[in-house]
Structure 1
Amino acid sequence: MSIASAFNFALSGLTASSRMAEVVSSNIANAMTEGYARRELSISSQTLGGTGGGVRIVGVNRIVNQVVAQDLMLADAASANTTAKTDFYSRLESQIGDPETAGSLSATMSDFENALLTAGSMPDSTARLAATVRSASAVANKLNSISDDLQAARLTADKSITKQVRTLNETLSQLEEMNRTITTQISIGNDAAGLMDERQSLVNQISEIVPIRVVQRDNNQISLFTSGGAILLDGTAAHLEFEGAGVMQAGYSLATGELKGISINGVAVSTADDGPLGGGTLGAAFAVRDELAPEAQSQLDAFAMDLVSRLQDPSVDTTLSSTDAGLFTDRGAAFEFAADGSALDPAAEIGLAGRLKLNAIVDPEQGGEVWHLRDGLMAGSQGAIGNGTILNALSAALTKEAAPASGDYGPALRTSSGLASDLLSYASSGRQSSELTQGYATARQETLKEMSLADGVDTDHEMQTLLVVEKAYAANAKVIQTIDAMLQELLDI
């Protein structure tokens, strides 16, 4: 081996050691950086003319477990999806309220029933009649409040969809540009590992919105597909379109046209949570807007209709005709029932809970008189102040066991308060079911996150590597020093 060859070998070793020290220091500095992938220097022996030529730096590799990273992105989407649904049911359950808590639906119904019993025992008491009217008004107000909150939840979901679609479009455009930049930098010999970290951060931004799969392409580019099969990025970024509603009412739906769906590159796609864009927070928002909240509204409206029908019956208040409004009205109007007790017009039941109002005839705040509660809503004048027949009939109507004519309550016979309890059970069951799914999704997400972190930067290992690099650098430096000494010796001859 010539002195020149030995010098070149040592110089290549110094270069490799220096580059490796740079990589190790970068790993240590970014040990806590979110989205940073550990680097490793790839080196190989170099040959010149069939003989050894020192060491050659092949490149810097990002160490990423693609399988774990892919599963983690899907787990992030699933966890966010179930969390959104659990939050909806928790919100509904809170609005209905615990039966032991004042102001809950069950509590207001109980207060109303007790007020009727108390008034029936002393029908000549104007104070008791007034208390009964106030408790009846509280029931209507509570149903209005729950219904309004359901529509507020739907509107919030609709606004969330608008925001998420905007985020998707912006991020996908950035990813398209990032793909081109990475390819360009690599083609001119630059290290693009930092750009790849930034690109992964962009991918992570949308992984909760929709569950995605990353496909590696040539020239270090990536393509993105949803788990439902939609193409988000494959060379060029897809463009999603969605139009928000702005306002929300109980009857608004995709079928009736007030609410809009979503399209990809101008092609409408399903908004179902098991559709092309379902499974993440976007799918959960559509589910709340179009499925969960409307279903809850239907249950609430069925309760309201049951309450109206019980107290609009002419056999309960004999002063009423079949076309007169009862104690509870549809914004002042009578609700029309078919012979079997169901709504004559099923569409009229939608949103009834939000429109429910106390009959103005008995409400002093609306210009009415409380004595109508005792003597009959359509009575022309006051009757015997000691006659509690109608009050007792109203009380009996509420406690009568009957099957609701609508809603998904089943055929079992229930009192009005029993139906209120079932409504709470509906919300509680939905929350508990969502929490079970959420628990599994969260546990899976945490496990995969731990596995992902295990592939990250281990500072102890990096420090050990740095010691090895230091010794290698010192050894190569010693070779150069020795060559220098030899050359000086030769020059001195």
Structure 2
Amino acid sequence: MSLSATLSNASSSLYVAGERTSVVSRNIANAEKAYYSRKSVEVVTIPGSGVRTSGVVRAESPVLFRQVLSSSSSTATYQAQVETLDFLDSTINDVELDASPAALINKFLSALQNYSAQPQSELASKAAVRSAADLANGLNSAASTVRKARTEADSGVQASVDRVNSLLDQFQTVNDYIVKGTLSGSDVTDYMDQRDEILANLSNEVGIRTVSRGNNDMAVYTDSGVTLFDRVPRKLEFVGSGNMTPGLPGNAVYIDGVPVTGANATMPLQSGRIVGLVQARDDISLSYEAQIDEMARVLVTAFAESDQTGGGGPDVPGLFTYTGASGIPPDGVLISGLASALRVNPNVDPDKGGVATRLRDGGISDPLSPQYVYNTDGSASYTNRIDELINKMGANYTFDPAAKLTSDASLTDYSATSVGWLEEQRKVADDGLQYQSTLYQRSFDSFTRITGVNLDEELSLMLELERSFQTSSKLISVVDSMYSALIGAIR
């Protein structure tokens, strides 16, 4: 081999070693970044001219990355549900205070039984009425908690939609750089890492799948097939529902005018935080709200007063009534928002100027109308009406199946079943979250083992490059000495 060829080989080797050293340094500097992929320089041999670089490539694993995106979306779905269920659980989880609807119903039943044992006791009558007021207030509070949970979920949907639109704008910017850089032959691997990170963040909000095209271009679709990005981003639209109307689902999310959530969605989203929030807002919370409303309806029905004169007067609300009450609610028909409006009739509430003993005697609905008085003799030992109310609390009633519980049960059993239903929903969501979180972590760990940076390997490669650099430098020095000797001999 001639001296010039040797010098060319050594020089090209020196240049390639420098390029590879630069990339290795880049790897080491970014080793801790979540979606940074290990870069390497492709080296090709040129016969008679040494070596050269043909470009920078990055480590990839498309299959594992798709699994990371999928498990990330599923995790976000369950996380949103768990957050809402934890909030709803505040209506039942205070064991010491016995503040759940079921506990309050049992405490009220106990107060009625105590009053039946001593009907002449004014203290017992007041205690029973105050227990009834606590029950009404508890249902009011539970309904308020459900409304807050639905409002928070609705606000969460708005925030997620805003994040998706922002991420899609970022995706367009980065994707354009990648396509242009690929066409010009530039190193776009760092931009591809940025794009992967954007996709990972996007998958938290909505389930996605991607399609790679020529020049490293990429299109993004929802997991139901709706286009999110194809050359340009598709805009997600959502109008916040504001104060959630009891019994009615919130507004839908639209992509390019097509609904992707709600009953009218033809291609509904399958996973992601938006899906979890919509399910929490329009399914879980609405069902629990319906259960509370059904408890309130049956309380009004069970404690209604009937005409005692035989005149055929209609049944009217007694101990429990509600704002705007015009009669007794029909059997088995849900009245949305009733729990929020439930209250103890002020005619029997001592704190509002009422007479507590009317719980025993009747006439709560209208003290001026004798036809609804049960204790016509005014006997202090009269217990028939109290015992009747106790029996009614243990009787079976028809409940609306929209509440997703049994349609035939006593009030006490129904309230206990409601607690079990909520706890079961919470357990299912939490189990799903634990499983998907574990799956996501293992998928991500496997993905980073293949595509991430191993510092030990990079440092070892850096030493090899250093030795290669030294060898090439030494060879150039030898060739230089030989050229000097040759020129000296010619002179």
Q: Under a length normalisation based on structure 2, what TM-score does the superposition of the two structures give?
A: 0.90
Larger CA deviation: 83-92 vs 5-14: 83-92
For residue 77 of structure 1, report the CA deviation from its aligned partner: 0.4
Q: Which amino acid in structure 1 is aligned with residue 390 of structure 2?
A: S
Out of 313, 322, 328, the residue aligned to residue 314 of structure 2 is 322
Counterparts of residues 431-470 of structure 1 (less than 5 Å): 431-455=426-450, 456-470=452-466
Counterparts of residues 158-173 of structure 1 (less than 5 Å): 158-173=154-169
Question: 2:207 maps to which residue?
Answer: 211
Larger CA deviation: 375-384 vs 137-146: 375-384
- Which 5+ residue runs of structure 1 have no aligned equivalent? 254-258
Out of 264, 273, 277, the residue aligned to residue 255 of structure 2 is 264
Question: 2:277 maps to which residue?
Answer: 285
RMSD: 2.5
Percent same amino acid at aligned positions?
27
Out of 329, 348, 351, the residue aligned to residue 365 of structure 1 is 351
Question: 2:59 maps to which residue?
Answer: 63
Instruction: Determine the C-alpha separation between the residues in 1 that align with 2:169 and 2:128.
Output: 62
Q: 1:152 to 1:237 in 2, by over 3 A?
A: same
Equivalent residues of 1:306, 1:405 under 8 A apart:
no
Instruction: Determine the C-alpha separation between the residues in 1 that align with 2:237 and 2:243.
Output: 19
Instruction: Determine the C-alpha separation between the residues in 1 that align with 2:58 and 2:30.
Output: 13
Q: 1:315 to 1:23 in 2, by over 3 A?
A: farther
For residue 391 of structure 1, report the CA deviation from its aligned partner: 2.1
Q: Secondary structure at the match of 2:77?
A: helix
Question: 1:428 maps to which residue?
Answer: 423
Question: 1:115 maps to which residue?
Answer: 111
Instruction: Determine the C-alpha separation between the residues in 1 that align with 2:223 and 2:258.
Output: 18
Instruction: Determine the C-alpha separation between the residues in 1 that align with 2:459 and 2:237.
Output: 50
Instruction: Determine the C-alpha separation between the residues in 2 that align with 1:95 and 1:301.
Output: 14
Q: Secondary structure at the match of 1:174?
A: helix
- The one-character-per-residue Cα deviations of 1:384-443 (angstroms, maximum 9, x if unpaired) are 3332332222222213345546543325543x2222111101111212222332233222
Instruction: Determine the C-alpha separation between the residues in 2 that align with 1:265 and 1:413.
Output: 47
For residue 141 of structure 1, report the CA deviation from its aligned partner: 0.9
Question: 2:30 maps to which residue?
Answer: 30
Equivalent residues of 1:240, 1:263 under 8 A apart:
yes
Larger CA deviation: 191-200 vs 171-180: 191-200
Equivalent residues of 2:39, 2:56 under 8 A apart:
yes
Q: 1:320 to 1:328 in 2, by over 3 A?
A: farther
Counterparts of residues 63-462 of structure 1 (less than 5 Å): 63-97=59-93, 101-253=97-249, 259-271=250-262, 275-312=267-304, 314=306, 321-331=313-323, 333-338=325-330, 341-343=331-333, 346=334, 349-376=335-362, 377=364, 378-380=366-368, 383-404=378-399, 407-410=403-406, 412-414=408-410, 416-455=411-450, 456-462=452-458
Instruction: Determine the C-alpha separation between the residues in 2 that align with 1:336 and 1:369.
Output: 22
Question: 1:256 maps to which residue?
Answer: none
Q: Secondary structure at the match of 1:20?
A: helix
Instruction: Determine the C-alpha separation between the residues in 1 that align with 2:185 and 2:247.
Output: 60
Equivalent residues of 1:97, 1:424 under 8 A apart:
no
Q: Which amino acid in structure 2 is aligned with residue 64 of structure 1?
A: E
Equivalent residues of 1:317, 1:394 under 8 A apart:
no
For residue 87 of structure 1, report the CA deviation from its aligned partner: 2.9
Counterparts of residues 33-52 of structure 1 (less than 5 Å): 33-46=33-46, 51-52=47-48
Equivalent residues of 2:400, 2:407 under 8 A apart:
no
Q: Secondary structure at the match of 1:228?
A: coil
For residue 16 of structure 1, report the CA deviation from its aligned partner: 0.7
Instruction: Determine the C-alpha separation between the residues in 2 that align with 1:473 and 1:320.
Output: 107
Q: Secondary structure at the match of 2:205?
A: coil
Q: Which amino acid in structure 2 is aligned with residue 296 of structure 1?
A: Y
For residue 192 of structure 1, report the CA deviation from its aligned partner: 2.0
Equivalent residues of 1:100, 1:107 under 8 A apart:
no
Q: 1:102 to 1:52 in 2, by over 3 A?
A: same
Q: Secondary structure at the match of 2:54?
A: strand
For residue 127 of structure 1, report the CA deviation from its aligned partner: 1.8
Q: 1:486 to 1:319 in 2, by over 3 A?
A: farther
Equivalent residues of 2:406, 2:414 under 8 A apart:
no
Q: Which amino acid in structure 2 is aligned with residue 375 of structure 1?
A: D
- The one-character-per-residue Cα deviations of 1:183-231 (angstroms, maximum 9, x if unpaired) are 3334444322222222222222211111111222222222111111011
Q: Which amino acid in structure 2 is aligned with residue 264 of structure 1?
A: I
Q: Which amino acid in structure 2 is aligned with residue 488 of structure 1?
A: S
